[in-house]
Structures are given as C-alpha cells and as structure tokens.
Amino acid sequence: MVDVLAKANLLSYSYPNQHSNGLSLFPKSFTRSCFMRGFSVKSRSQAFRLSSSLSSDFNGKRVVLREYKGLPGRGNSPKGSIKAQQIGLIGKSQKWWEKGLQPNMKEVTSAQDLVDSLLNAGDKLVVVDFFSPGCGGCKALHPKICQLAEMHPDVQFLQVNYEEHKSMCYSLNVHVLPFFRFYRGAHGRLCSFSCTNATIKKFKDALAKHATDRCSLEPTKGLEEKELIALAANKDLSFNFTPKPQPTPVPAEEELPVLVTPHTFSDLPLPLPSTNLKSTQDSKEKPLVVSGR
C-alpha cells in the first residue's frame, strides 16, 4: 500500500515541528493547511485515536500515522468547551418563582385551567396566589409560601403570573400584589386578602382556620358566577361560559276571601216550639210596667 501511495505522489514529508515527526500519509498542501488552521487532519465527525502506529520501511525512514491535536487557544480546546458549558448553564438559571416548589403547587396556564383546577379540587382547600416576577414583595414572600405548602400537603396552591395573565386578573378584580384567595368545595370563595412578608401572620391564620377537614354533599362551586361571566366576556381570553337558566319563580297562591251569600228568611231555621205551657201563660199574664205611672 505504501508503494502505491508513493507512486501516486501522495506521500509528503511533514515539516519537523512539535506536532509531527517523520512522514504523513496526506498531501503536502493538505498538511500545511491543517497546521495553519489549527485542526486535526482526521475528520471532525469521526473521533478516533490510533493506539498503535503503522510503520514500514520507506527509503530508510519510518512512516508514522498519528493524530494531530489542535493548537492551544483555539475553539476546540477543553478550556473553551468548559467555558461554553458554563455560559449555557448561566443562561438557563432557574427563576425565583420556580424555586422550592412543592408537589401541591401548580402554575396556572389559562383561565380554563384555573376554573378546572378549582372544580376538580372537591372539598380540598385551594389557595390561589397572584404574583408578578417584578414584585419585590412577592419574591420575598415566596420561600415562606413554599414552606407552608410543604407543611400542608393536603392544600392545593395555584400560582397565577400577573405578567402573563393580566387580562384574566383584571376580570377577577385583582389590582394589588401579592394577593391571595381561598376556595373550598361548595362554599366557593372563603376569603381574599393581600399580605406581605411583614404581615405573613394574616396568611397563617387564614390557612389554620380553613385547612380543617370538611365534607360537603353539594357540588363544588369554584369561581362565582359573576366572575365566570366576566371571564367569558373578556375578548382576550378563550373561555366560554353559559349561565345556568334560573328557574322562574312561581307566584304564591293568594288566599281568596270567603264570600258569604245572603240568606232569605226562608233559609233561616225556624224556632222550635216551646213545650213549657205554664211559662208561656205566666208571660202573658204579667202586666207591662211603664216607668212614671
């Protein structure tokens, strides 16, 4: 094989330097371009290493095949690849509202997702947390909310990003942050308030009050009907809601007055005849007493 390559004039001496010794199995022009550009003569898509060298007698010299490594300071150096990986990790840093999340914490993606999450919760207590990435109070309060969620695994926490759902928050009359609303079963909304890291006791008291186990036989209420109508009327939201037909009130039966028909004398009962004849005779015999005589 070496003889054939030699006849074809494909073998060329490599310039003696720190990268090579002896001969190379590549044309001279290709070898020079490889040294000048600083990459290996091997194909980049096929990473291989030659653990053994091929040697043969060629004009009294050895023909050595070896792997050429790139010059230091180039893009294919290990330091450059490590730095690129570090830059990629920094670019994918976790956002503060995604840190410390518990299994019972979920971010709401749409108005329909919020409605379905409340209805599917059943009798479980649901806390809706309205926050904004640029709100300093929301950021300071987030770690404590995560701790409380870990302490109450039976409570469902729903996070609503105000920056991504401004139109929905406007329909729900949420205009201050951080803001919380508590929902449960057939009772629907239990309370709503705003609190900060300094007034976290308000949140803890509401959680302790409404986190007790309860059971209701009535269907889950979720959002109020006026809130559902407001969401459906919002053109920015793809949410449909059909109000339930209200039953028509049945008028109460009025008490009609009892009509008394006039009676004739013939309808009146006749007096019974007196059987005591003596009493009748005495009444006839008594004189009429007239005062003044």
Catalytic residue set = 135, 138
Contact 181, 191 (CB under 8 A): yes
CA 63/CA 21 separation, integer angstroms = 9
CA 70/CA 162 separation, integer angstroms = 51
Cβ count near 78 (within 10 Å): 7
Amino acid in position 128? V
Tell me the three state secondary structure of residue 129: strand
Helical H segments across the chain, by residue range: 2-7, 28-37, 78-91, 111-120, 136-151, 166-171, 200-210, 225-233, 277-285
Amino acid in position 4? V
Q: Are strands 61-62 and 57-58 parallel, antiparallel or unpaired?
A: antiparallel
- Any idea what DSSP says for residue 63? B
Find where tokens 């503060």 sit. Answer: 96
- Which tokens sit at 269? 């009962």
